[in-house]
Amino acid sequence: MPNSGIAGQNVVLAQPATDRILGELDAAAKMSERLVRDVERVEEMRVHDFTGARYEAFADDVCRYGIRFLNARLRTGEIVVACAERGRPVRFTEEDLKTFSRSRADREDLAVMTVTQAILRFTKQALRDGGWDPQRGALLTTYFCGLCLLVLGDTYRAWRTQHHDRVMRYDKRLGIEFLARAITPADSEPSSRQLALAQAVVTLAENERSQHTRVIVQMTAQGQTQNEIADHLGLTRKQVEGRLRRFREKAKSARERGTLIPFGLDR
């Protein structure tokens, strides 16, 4: 029977409590071993002023860890909370968070941009200048991920500019006559009905709030395949397919109200 804990007597803990304490001690021991190894690695790299093959291998390992860390949080949206907890909130747009949740390519683009900036700061601040202090209990990888969150605001803005520019290259106003001819049999002139159809799709596309969807509709009307569109815009084919599907739903609704949509976009 467990003892009440009177001074001078042995205290017998319940088994669950014993398991928990032993587990915590084991975890602490493993953490201590990893910290010792981190200290050893830093001293080994310091001999060559954090250059050379040993440093390159270490930096590669840390960056890979950082990419996995960022990728996971960008996919789930937890990145918003993580940045806020570091005192560096980042204002992600809802559209971009959806992109990151669906597109591994976009997540990795931002993650790679971020670790590329963070490793420079990490090498100077944490390693050369001694900013990393093992006495505080943080592993090198933990310290590095913290730096990634600190620079993410800048790299996200850079990523967004690049992403926006890539889409803007293809965001051209659809020409009504071009569209009308696209639905007109060869060797024929567009009829008034076909011109009206072209006007309908132009209006619907230009009223589309999502720039990605608008551009995808434009490129589809110009005869490009979903794979071609995905390659041009840095999206996956499934993303393109999904946006077209939602646009078709709007097109069907427009047709039910008396507006006809061409190009098979309403099928």
pLDDT tens-digit map of 149-187: 999 999 999 998 877 777 777 666 556 666 666 556 666
Residue bearing tokens 């930096």: 59
User: What is the identity of the amino acid at 217?
Assistant: V
Rounded to an integer, what distance in angstroms lies between the CA atom of residue 183 and that of residue 172?
19
- On whether both 107 and 236 belong to a single domain, the answer is no
Domain range for 225:
176-256
Rounded to an integer, what distance in angstroms lies between the CA atom of residue 186 and that of residue 4?
95
Mean pLDDT, residues 50-64:
95
- On whether both 23 and 136 belong to a single domain, the answer is yes
- On whether both 46 and 162 belong to a single domain, the answer is yes
- On whether both 134 and 227 belong to a single domain, the answer is no
- On whether both 65 and 183 belong to a single domain, the answer is no
Q: Determine the pLDDT at residue 73.
A: 97
**pTM (global) more than 0.95:** no
- On whether both 43 and 120 belong to a single domain, the answer is yes
Residue bearing tokens 């021991």: 29
* Burial of 43 from C-beta contacts in 10 A (0-12 / 13-18 / 19+): exposed
Q: Determine the pLDDT at residue 6.
A: 42
More confident residue, 243 or 207: 243
Last residue of a domain, one of 149, 168, 187: 168
Q: Determine the pLDDT at residue 148.
A: 97
Q: Is the pLDDT of residue 195 over 60?
A: yes
- For 70-86, b where at least 16 C-beta lie within 10 A, e where not — what string? bbebbeeeebbebbeeb
Which CATH number belongs to the domain containing residue 225 in this structure? Answer: 1.10.10
- Does residue 133 sit within a domain? yes
Last residue of a domain, one of 118, 134, 168: 168
Q: Is the pLDDT of residue 127 over 90?
A: yes
Give the model's confidence band at 206: pLDDT under 50 very low, under 70 low, under 90 confident, else very high. low
CA angle 59, 54, 141 (to 5 degrees): 35
Q: Determine the pLDDT at residue 135.
A: 87
- On whether both 163 and 211 belong to a single domain, the answer is no
- On whether both 59 and 153 belong to a single domain, the answer is yes
CA-only gyration radius of the chain, Å: 28
> Percentage of the chain surpassing pLDDT 70?
67
Structural domain total, the chain: 2
Condensed to tens digits (0 to 9), the pLDDT of residues 63-122 reads 999 999 999 999 999 999 999 999 999 999 988 898 898 778 788 889 999 999 999 999
- Does residue 267 sit within a domain? no
Q: Determine the pLDDT at residue 9.
A: 47
